[in-house]
Structure 1
């Protein structure tokens, strides 16, 4: 009986604790996705692990990051980096254009991006030290289209794993 208790309760909890400790030692943290802004890539309830970034480290376009913004009452939110410091970005007729080049976005569903909010964005330049973040579910995402480019200091890290 004691063996059964150990196998079903103690060992799994010890394994989970070891996983969390390993993540902390690698500079990683985790959070649970609370909204639908990144569907279909990340569903509500998905647990994501993110890795802290060094102050000099740049984020590549298309990367998914964890960030905090006052609009979300201190909650950690995932979003996709689509333009970096000094890049130009616009959306015309549903097509994302960064630095004059159309961006292929295989991660979004076109039926999640039909409203004017999602299909039109006047051309703008991302300020130095900031990033332009968009959710994959464009019609349901409050992102840089809503509150503007995000300062680098509010980006917690790069999402490295999701479960």
Structure 2
């Protein structure tokens, strides 16, 4: 009785498994090198991102003023005892001077466009401050004596200003903590079309005067 050659059996098994295996390899490579799926945790980016919403963090996408980023806040937020991902909007880039006056945020003395949030939330930005005043008020552990964002770091804020735990309270986010820039797709969550625009493209009109910020 012939059972066939071992090689024939291997070829038959391979014909069944090669396609699923290839898909798995491509998926792993994509999430490791290109983009990582992330779930929004909490209300700090409302109304543009909701709690539990699924987004993608693109690792090689450029970071602009107004970009929404995902970063590992462990070691950044001193209240954390373990790794946790935060989603926030970049307000200050390296070298920027960031100030606030009566709800208006200024970057390098230019008022920024905050049309992505309500006037009420704009007024919750924390009153009148500059980076040095924030550092003193909230006892930042590092870079607590500067008026500009240090090299290789970012100043970030949540869109839901009244509840967001962000750079106003813990200071700057180092570049090596950033996982990527957030992009929203129609199948990933419950964001409105305006919300998607405010996440994906608002950076193009970062300043009140309009036009691209970069």
| TM-score normalised by L of structure 2 | 0.60
**Aligned equivalents of 2:70, 2:169: Cα separation in 1:** 17
- 1:5 counterpart residue number: none
Q: Secondary structure at the match of 1:37?
A: coil
Aligned match of 1:34 in 34, 41, 60?
41
Q: Which has the higher strand share?
A: 1
CA radius of gyration, larger in: 2
- 2:208 counterpart residue number: none
Q: Secondary structure at the match of 1:90?
A: strand
**Aligned equivalents of 2:123, 2:112: Cα separation in 1:** 17
- 1:10 counterpart residue number: none
Residue 49 in structure 1 maps to residue 60 in structure 2: no
**Aligned equivalents of 1:105, 1:161: Cα separation in 2:** 19
**Aligned equivalents of 2:46, 2:128: Cα separation in 1:** 20
4+ residue segments displaced more than 3 Å? none
Unaligned runs of 5+ in 1: 1-13
- RMSD between aligned residues: 2.3
CA displacement at 1:59 relative to structure 2:
1.3
Unaligned runs of 5+ in 2: 1-19, 132-146, 189-214
**Aligned equivalents of 2:110, 2:42: Cα separation in 1:** 30
Q: Secondary structure at the match of 2:176?
A: helix
- 1:157 counterpart residue number: 180
* Equivalent residue pairs, number: 143
